[in-house]
Every structure is written in structure tokens, then in C-alpha cells.
Amino acid sequence: MASRLLLSALAPATLILAFIIRIIAAAVQFRRNRQKAVGFFHPYTNDGGGGERVLWCAVKAVQEESPDLDCVIYTGDHDASPQSLSARAIDRFGVKLINPPQVVHLYKRKWIEETTYPRFTMIGQSLGSVYLSWEALCKYTPLYYFDTSGYAFTYPVARMFGCKVICYTHYPTISLDMLSRIHARSSMYNNDALIAKSVFFSQCKVIYYKFFSLLYGMVGSCAHLAMVNSSWTHSHIQKLWGISARIFRVYPPCDTSGLQMLPLERSTTPIKIISVAQFRPEKAHPLQLEAFAVVLKNLDADLPRPKLQFVGSCRNEADEKRLQHLKDRAIELKVDNDVEFHKNVTYSELVSLLGGAAAGIHSMIDEHFGISVVEYMASGAIPIGLFPNLLIDKGGNWAGQVGFGQVKNRPS
């Protein structure tokens, strides 16, 4: 029995050691032949959110400032080509690249899919990203490795390959707020209700999160230059990574020039409320739908019924399932005739939808920036959201009482 337990413990350790040796051997081989290029690690070039906008703006900036450097995109989208990605940058974000980027296709992206890890998702995806970056850098080793998707565990690998590591972090993989919620046993998309109800499991998860935050700090500190998108992210990354001299706040690109040209007059037949966000769990689309159902239920019969428009993108099968669940939930709540779903729209279509909206909903807790909120304001749509996120003044004080969700045990 003891020998079996020993073997079961040694087997995964041996595999991990063998993989580390393989990474080091590849790094020694390929670091001698680094290409004069910037390699952008962005496995989902179809995510359609603020992260992809940053990617294309970063590529354009490199092409303008350092035309001698090639721009290479590491992507797991097998249908992506230099021409299709260049066209996508224009169609989806209005960003015109000087030259189409080179493309390196990745075939091990499943190892960063959340569906691959039903439990211990964070550590699983993080270790999976190590494997994926190893594939990427073996296929093409650039002078500069630029992560625009938040995969910090890839930074030590890029360092071993001799790359200068640059990153643009939208949101820390783990934050102090997440730890405090586990302590408080709050149920959320990243904290199962079964765990939240149990003191024992909650304490185990606290230990897991603290261990992960230690690892996250170690790998994040490998970045030569770290850019963050907001003061919120800056504060968390600075505490976790401990490289304050190498962290710079660079607000994400928000092209509002076209939105500001939209007329402020909006049709009231019907009144349209828009929600612009990727179909990801942290965006809390079900909360928006349920709040909208409450509004319709309490609406006076003689008033026109508003229309809720969900506008977002799907990166993968998990996002597609979330979108389908949202559609099914709309039917359950009997509001399916009052709700529209717009998936993977072009930039011109987004502008048109924003131009018809009287208000915009945003319900992510601990929002790190919120490009969609800026777009709401620029287009003349009134932002509606969770009061700790939207309604604070420059001093960080609560500046209002407008929002939705449970506020002091009453829906608003």
C-alpha cells in the first residue's frame, strides 16, 4: 500500500520535472535564434472585448514607432490569417494597421480552457498557459514577448527563451478582494455556493488562494515592463507583484470621436437599454436580465415596455453556452419578446446600437476599467450599474443612490 502511494505521488512529480527539463532544453536551443520582432501572446483573437482592442492598438503603435520590428500574433484561432486579422481590426474596432501581422497558430489552446478544469480552474489554466507559451516560443522566438491577455505564468518561460517580457494587464488573475470574499463566504461565479456554505471548504480555499497569490506574485515579477489599465488594477498588481518601478498605468484606448457625433435625441418607441460586454461569467448578465424582469413586472400597464439589448462576443464554447443559458432564462422569466441578443457585431453595428440606446447597463463587480461605460457616456446613453463601481467621486466617496441589485435589502 505504501509503495503504491509513493508511486502515485512520484508519477506527477516526474512528469512535471520532465516537462521543466524539456522547456529549459528548448529555451537553450531557441534563444540563440531570436527574431527581430514583437510576439503578441493573445490566444483568443476573436474575443471582441477591450483586450482585443488593446492588442490591435498595441500592434499599430509598434508598427508606427518601430517599423523595423515585425509584429507576430500567437493565436489559437486556426482560421486566423494576416489578412483576416487586419480586416477584423478595422471592422470590429476601427483600428487600421499599417501592415498585416504575421500569425503563429497554436494547437494546445485547450489547456487554457476553463472547461478543461472543473476544479482548481485558476491553477489549471495558469499551468496550461505555460504549456501553450512553450509551444508558441518554440515555433517563433521574438526579441520581445508581449502578453495582452493576462497570462502571467508565461513570463518565466519567455524569460528563459531570452525575451524581454512586456505585459498589459486588464485584471489580476487573483485579487485581495477575491480573498476577502472567500473569508466572508460569499457565493459568486468564482466561489461555488457549496464551498461558500462550508466553513471547512472555505478555509481550504483560502489556503489555496493564498498559495496561488504567492505563485502569481513570483511569475508576475518576471515582467520587464508591466502596463495596467486603471488605478484599481495598479493597486492590486503593485501589491501582488512587488515591482512598483516597472508598473505603469496606461488607460485603454477608447475612441469616442464617432460616438460623440451621435444625436442625443432617442426614440422612445420602445425605450432601448443596452448592455455591452463579453459573455463571460464576471459580467453578470443573468443579474441584468432578472433586474429587467422586475422592472417589467412593476411597470404601469399604460407605459410602453422598454427593450433590453445584449451586445457581446463569444470566445469559445463556454461563452456560447452562457449565451444560450441567458436566452433560456429570458424565456423562463417571460421577457424573451422584450430582449434582443447581438453576438459578435462589427464596430459600425455597435455604434448604431449605442446610437439608439437611452441607457446602458454594466454589472461587473470590481470593474477594473469598463470601456463600455465610457462608450455609454460618449454616445449619450445613461450608465446604470452597481453603486460601488460607478457612483463614486474622485475622492472615492459614494456619490449617489442609483443602480440595480440588492441595495440595503431592497431592489433598485
Per the CB < 8 A criterion, the answer to whether 105 and 30 are in contact is no
Tens-place pLDDT, residues 108-147: 999 999 889 988 889 999 999 999 999 999 999 999 999 9
Q: Are 282 and 211 within one domain? A: no
Lowest mean pLDDT among 122-136, 339-353, 363-377: 363-377
Confidence of residue 411 (pLDDT cuts 50, 70, 90): very low
- What's 276's DSSP letter? E
Tell me if 72 is assigned to some domain. Answer: yes
Per the model's pLDDT, the better-predicted residue between 332 and 393 turns out to be 332
Regarding whether 349 and 293 lie in a shared domain, the answer is yes
145: left (phi over 0), alpha (psi -120 to 50) or beta: beta
First to last CA, the chain: 60
What's 304's DSSP letter? P
Assess whether 106 and 83 both reside in one domain: yes
Q: Are residues 77 and 111 in the same domain?
A: yes
- Grid coordinates of 346: 462589427
Residue 213 shares a structural domain with residue 155? yes
Residue 70 C-alpha cell reads as 515585425
- pLDDT value at residue 407: 37
Distance CA(248)–CA(237), nearest Å, equals 11
Length of the chain: 412
Q: Are 354 and 376 members of one domain?
A: yes
Same domain? 104 vs 242: yes
**Mean pLDDT over each residue of the chain, to the nearest integer:** 86
Contact partners, residue 204, CB within 8 Å, separation at least 6: none
Give the CATH number of the domain where residue 320 resides: 3.40.50.2000
Structure-block grid coordinates of residue 197:
456554505
Q: What is the mean pLDDT of residues 286-311?
A: 92
Assess whether 182 and 277 both reside in one domain: no
Among 249, 268, 302, the domain-final residue is 249
256: Cβ–Cβ under 8 A, 6 or more apart, which residues?
Answer: 374, 375, 378
- 9 is a domain residue: no
**Domain-embedded: residue 2:** no
In this model, does residue 394 exceed pLDDT 70?
no
What is the edge-to-edge ordering of all strands in the sheet holding 35-41? 102-105, 70-75, 35-41, 142-147, 164-169, 225-228, 247-249
- Helix locations, 169-316, DSSP H: 176-184, 193-197, 199-220, 231-241, 285-297
Mean pLDDT of 264-291: 90
Question: CA-CA distance, 208 to 31, in Å (whole number)?
Answer: 34
**Which of 218, 249, 280 finishes a domain?**
249
Q: Strand 272-276 vs strand 359-362: parallel, antiparallel, or unpaired?
A: parallel
Q: Which of 187, 216, 249 is the last residue of a domain?
A: 249
Q: What is the DSSP string of 131-180?
A: HHHHHHHHH--EEEEEE-S--GGGHHHHHHTTPEEEEEESS-SS-HHHHH
The reported pLDDT for the residue numbered 386 is 72
Write down the pLDDT at residue 378: 92
Structural domain span for residue 379: 259-411
CA distances to 140, 206, 262, 300 from 379, rounded to whole Å, are 42, 42, 6, 28
- Residue 51 is assigned to a structural domain of this protein: yes
pLDDT tens profile 7-38: 555 666 676 777 677 777 776 677 778 899 99
Average pLDDT score over residue span 225-244 = 94
Distance CA 299, CA 264 (A): 25
Q: 16: number of CA atoms within 13 Å, CB side?
A: 7
The answer to whether residues 146 and 269 belong to one domain is: no
Other CB atoms within 10 A of residue 279 CB: 24
